[in-house]
Every structure is written in C-alpha cells, then in structure tokens.
Amino acid sequence: MAEPRILIIDDDPNLRKTLSDILRLKGYETLTAENGEKGLAVLRESRVKLVLIDLGLPDIPGLEVLARIKADFPGAEAIVLTGQATIDSAVEATNRGAFSYLVKPYEIDQLINHIRRAHEKQQAEEEIAEHHIELERMNAELKTLHEISEAISQTLDMDELVKDVLQVMLRTRIFPFEVCGGIFLVDDDRLRLASFVSLPETALKPCQEIRREQCLCGRAMATGKVVMSRDARQSEAHVLCYPETEKYERIIVPLKAIGKVVGLISLYTEPGTEVSEGLVSLLSSMGNQIGIAVNNARLYEEIKSASLHDPLTGLANRRFLDIQLEKIFELARRYGQNQSVIMLDIDHFKRYNDTYGHQGGDQLLIKLAEILTAEMRKSDYVFRYGGEEFLALLPDTELPMALDAAERLRAAVEREAGVTISLGVAVYHDGMPDKETLVKEADAALYRAKEGGRNRVETAEGQGT
C-alpha cells in the first residue's frame, strides 16, 4: 500500500515548509494549510489520510478543527502538534479522536514513528473493512444458495418450481438484477419459455420457442456457458427479444444436470454492471443446482404421467379417473353443476381378438383411443377403464348433450374403425351418494345397451330423455 498523503495545518510558514520537505524526503506526499478553514477545504477537495494539526491556529481552535475532521472524514487520522501542552488539552485531543499528541519541539524520528503507526492502524482497519465486506458478500451468496435450495425442495411441480426459482434469482442480494426475466426449458433440442416476470409482449412473442444457436439464449444452450450481453439491441446474435423502449444488459445462465443443459435463466441487469469471474462461477453453480431440480421435476412428471396413463393407448387410466371423478363429483354436489359420464366398450371384442390376434386387438384399442380423443371436447376427459372398456367424463354437461356426444362417438367408431361400440350415459342427480354410483349407473346403462342389441346408446334408469 502507498504511503499516505499528509496534510499539515499550522500557521507558522517556516515550520510548514520544513516539515513538508522532511516528510517528502521520507516518501510522503504532503499538502499544507495555514489555518483551520483552509485545512478543512483541502480535506474536502483532496483525499488525505493523515492530518498534522497545530492547536494554536489563528481562526479556529485546533481542537475544534480536530473534531470536525473526525466527524466529516472519519477515515482520516490526526496527530496533534502543540507548543502549549497541557494535560487538559492532551485529554481533550484524545477524547476528540486524535491518534496521538506531540509537544513541540519534538524529534523528527518520533513524529515519523507516530505517522507510521497511524498508517499501520489505517491499513489494519481497511483490511478489517474489506474482510467485513467479503463476509457480507459470502453471507449473501450463502443466503441466496439457501433460498434456492429451499425453493427447489418445496415442490416437484415444474410450473411451481420455475416460478419460485425465478423469483429467488430476481430478489438476490448478490447481484443488481432488474425485476424482470424468464426461464426457458429445453424441449426436443429447442428452448421453450416456461415462466417470466415483467417482460413486455414484444419481448415474449419471439421467445416462445428458440432453436439451438439461435439468439444468445440458443448459444448458451449450445455451449453450456454463462453468456453476457452488454447491449442486446446492438447485438446481431440477440435480435429476437429485447424491450424496444430501453437499453439493457443480460446474463443468461444455463441450467445443467448430468452434463446436459436442461434450461436457461435469462436475467436483466442495469447498464454498465460489472460481472466478476467469481460471480460468473457462482451463477454457474446456481445453474447446476437449479438444473438438477428441473431435471428431477421433469423425471417426476414423466413417472407421474406414466403412472396415470395407460401404456398401450396413452389415455388416462383408472387411477387418474379417480382423481378427476372426485373433482367433478364435488363440483356437482356443492354447486349443482351437471356432470355426465359415458361408459362404452367394443362389441364382440373377443371375436375380434380371435380373428386378428392380440396384436390386432391392441391396434384396434389404439385406434379407438385416437377416435375418442378426436371426437371429444378439450374440456372432456377420456380414460381406458379396463380391457376394451372406456369411460369419458363430460364436465358441466347436461344429459341431452351427453347423449349427442355418445351418439357421435358411436357413429365415428363404426365409420373409422369398422367395428361397433355400445354406450351407457349417466348424469349426476341430487341424492347421489358418491362418485362410484355415477360410474355404476353408466355401467348399468352400458349393460342395457348390450342387452338391447349392441351398437346403441342407453341412459341410466330414470334418466331417459
């Protein structure tokens, strides 16, 4: 560290010059002032770390100058030099923050020793302050990592996860992010916008899907490295997305798991923000941590989807049926909504299997699932109930509409699959004790359709049109 700049405040011009010359020979840079006001003015204009003050100044008492220096420039040290020493003045100078107190005439080596010790004290205090700043930075980083860990441990739901993670990253204390940004997930070698905060529509529309190497986000996906953009509006590589009305800078952090990029976080920063190598490394670590959570959530969704869907047809299975049936039954019971069920199966399916084999039977079930899915509304649910039986839930649907849907299904299957189906329709009614009863009534109606000759639609008893 360089020797400190020293200000000499003394009304004796000869002493000022002599002391200044000696200190310069010792390697110190010096400034001088002949009274208190000029000395304070020098302090305001120049960076001074040490002041030598004579107590007997012509305009302001030296002790008052000392007090103002310590109040306005707390980092500066002061050594009092006086030819009119008293115990009271020494005590008062110490109380007002003087580093030391020397009586004129003094040995120059004695003064140099005091200056050196004052400098050492300042160095120690600066090191402590730097250490404190470093500790605060480390604490902020640890706090952010803890918040991210907490956010990603709260849920395996992908939508909740990406929203929570984005909020944590935007409010982090380790970096001055703007309160806007987005998370992208890798989907079939493309980036899909999964969640965003405070982004304008002009920025979002082109970002719904980004290819590898396209835009800076695509570059980050391809390289797996943090990408920074100083002014995206001037960057040919980032022409897809930016707020049109303002400049900004961006940091794009890859989310990695098992060596692969599974997503990105795109964050906005204030112009001119400096990004250290340490911070880039920290953001990369966060990206890895979040990437593992994203990958786990995706695996969970795949496992959950597999457990709730029939592996042959891809339709939801009876386990998922129980979940959805509970929901619509509760809506019907609590709010009186019309909820309908269609139960159906393939006529003479055993005969079909015997003729075309089990592989042919499987292909028919797959074809039937495709027809049912295409014919039903987006708000409806279609399930493989078991074997050749299928069930459809029609939320907020009255019996006439459900019958029309069932007849449409019957005709479509006969036309497109070359086989016939029988269908039973039931609708929720007051007094129905549980959701199982709704299914049982639809199943009983299906049995009646079979008994009535097949390839027909029947309603539950007491629910005829």
Tell me: the pLDDT tens digits for 323-373? Answer: 889 988 888 888 888 899 999 999 999 999 999 999 999 999 999 999 999
The token duo for 462 is 């007491």
Domain match, 192 and 284 both: yes
> By residue range, what is the domain housing residue 232?
154-300
Whether 305 is in a domain gets the answer no
Name the band, by pLDDT with cuts 50, 70 and 90, for residue 247: low
Residues 6+ apart with CB under 8 A from 215: 237, 238, 239, 240, 241
Say what the pLDDT of residue 248 is: 66
Nearest Cα residue to 182 out of 286, 200, 213: 200
Query: Which CATH number belongs to the domain containing residue 350 in this structure?
Result: 3.30.70.270
With 60 as the cut, is the pLDDT of residue 238 above it? Answer: no
Residues 6+ apart with CB under 8 A from 375: 405, 408, 409, 412
Name the band, by pLDDT with cuts 50, 70 and 90, for residue 243: very low
* Residue 276: alpha-carbon gap to chain centroid: 20
From 237, 268, 300, the end of a domain falls on: 300
> Could you tell me how many residues make up the chain?
465
With 50 as the cut, is the pLDDT of residue 244 above it? Answer: no
- Is pTM, for the whole model, over 0.75? no
With 70 as the cut, is the pLDDT of residue 226 above it? Answer: yes
Name the band, by pLDDT with cuts 50, 70 and 90, for residue 240: very low
Whether 464 is in a domain gets the answer no
Contact in structure between 444 and 461 (CB atoms under 8 Å): yes
Residue of 108 and 170 predicted with greater confidence: 108
Q: What is the CA radius of gyration of the chain?
A: 40
For the chain, how many structural domains are there in total? 3
Q: Exposed, middle or buried by CB within 10 Å (0-12, 13-18, 19+), for 431?
A: exposed
Rounded Cα gap, residues 8 and 51, in angstroms:
6
Residue of 410 and 169 predicted with greater confidence: 410
Contact in structure between 175 and 269 (CB atoms under 8 Å): yes
Distances (CA, A) of 240 to 203, 251, 268: 8, 15, 15
Domain match, 83 and 217 both: no
Residue of 152 and 125 predicted with greater confidence: 125
Domain match, 286 and 330 both: no
Whether 133 is in a domain gets the answer no
Domain match, 283 and 188 both: yes
324 φ/ψ angles, rounded to the nearest 5 degrees: -70, -35
Read off the pLDDT of each residue in 420-448 and give the average, rounded to a whole number: 94
Domain match, 160 and 288 both: yes
The token duo for 174 is 């380790």
Rounded Cα gap, residues 49 and 23, in angstroms:
14
Mean of the per-residue pLDDT values for the chain? 84
Name the band, by pLDDT with cuts 50, 70 and 90, for residue 175: low
Distances (CA, A) of 291 to 15, 153, 216, 285: 69, 13, 19, 10
Say what the pLDDT of residue 234 is: 47
Query: Which CATH number belongs to the domain containing residue 29 in this structure?
Result: 3.40.50.2300
Contact in structure between 410 and 418 (CB atoms under 8 Å): no
Whether 216 is in a domain gets the answer yes
221 three-class SS: helix
With 70 as the cut, is the pLDDT of residue 208 above it? Answer: no
With 70 as the cut, is the pLDDT of residue 236 above it? Answer: no
With 70 as the cut, is the pLDDT of residue 241 above it? Answer: no
Helix (H) or strand (E) holding 108: helix 108-153
Read off the pLDDT of each residue in 144-173 and give the average, rounded to a whole number: 75
Nearest Cα residue to 390 out of 379, 400, 376: 376
Rounded Cα gap, residues 237 and 229, in angstroms:
9
Residues 6+ apart with CB under 8 A from 403: 425, 457, 459, 465
Say what the pLDDT of residue 52 is: 94
From 125, 146, 162, the end of a domain falls on: 125
Query: Which CATH number belongs to the domain containing residue 159 in this structure?
Result: 3.30.450.40
Read off the pLDDT of each residue in 7-15 and give the average, rounded to a whole number: 92
Residue of 148 and 199 predicted with greater confidence: 148
Domain match, 185 and 63 both: no
Nearest Cα residue to 239 out of 206, 264, 208: 206
The token duo for 222 is 């391809």
Read off the pLDDT of each residue in 174-179 and give the average, rounded to a whole number: 67
* Least confident segment among 205-209, 235-239, 286-290, 298-302: 235-239
Domain match, 328 and 288 both: no
Read off the pLDDT of each residue in 257-278 and give the average, rounded to a whole number: 80
Tell me: the pLDDT tens digits for 126-136? Answer: 888 888 877 87
| Angle between helix 108-153 and helix 158-170 axes, rounded to 10 deg | 160
Whether 410 is in a domain gets the answer yes
Percent of the chain with pLDDT over 70: 89
Which 8-state DSSP code applies to residue 211? E
Whether 32 is in a domain gets the answer yes
Domain match, 361 and 398 both: yes
Domain match, 392 and 288 both: no
The token duo for 390 is 């299928």
Domain match, 268 and 335 both: no
Percent of the chain with pLDDT over 90: 40
Which 8-state DSSP code applies to residue 309? B
Domain match, 199 and 248 both: yes
Q: Can you name the residues that pair with 257 across neighbouring β-strands? A: 260
Query: C-alpha angle with apex 289: 285 to 295, nearest 5 degrees?
Result: 135
State the amino acid at position 168 in one-letter form: V
Whether 419 is in a domain gets the answer yes
Whether 312 is in a domain gets the answer no
Q: 10 Å Cβ neighbour count for 208?
A: 11
Read off the pLDDT of each residue in 371-388 and give the average, rounded to a whole number: 94
Say what the pLDDT of residue 213 is: 67
Read off the pLDDT of each residue in 244-268 and give the average, rounded to a whole number: 78
Tell me: the pLDDT tens digits for 106-119? Answer: 888 999 999 999 99
With 70 as the cut, is the pLDDT of residue 60 above it? Answer: yes
* Least confident segment among 46-60, 203-217, 272-286, 420-434: 203-217
Name the band, by pLDDT with cuts 50, 70 and 90, for residue 388: very high
Domain match, 116 and 177 both: no
| Angle between helix 87-95 and helix 62-72 axes, rounded to 10 deg | 10
Rounded Cα gap, residues 80 and 76, in angstroms:
13
From 125, 141, 165, the end of a domain falls on: 125
Tally of helices (H runs) and strands (E runs) in the chain: 13, 16
Say what the pLDDT of residue 206 is: 64
Contact in structure between 346 and 368 (CB atoms under 8 Å): yes
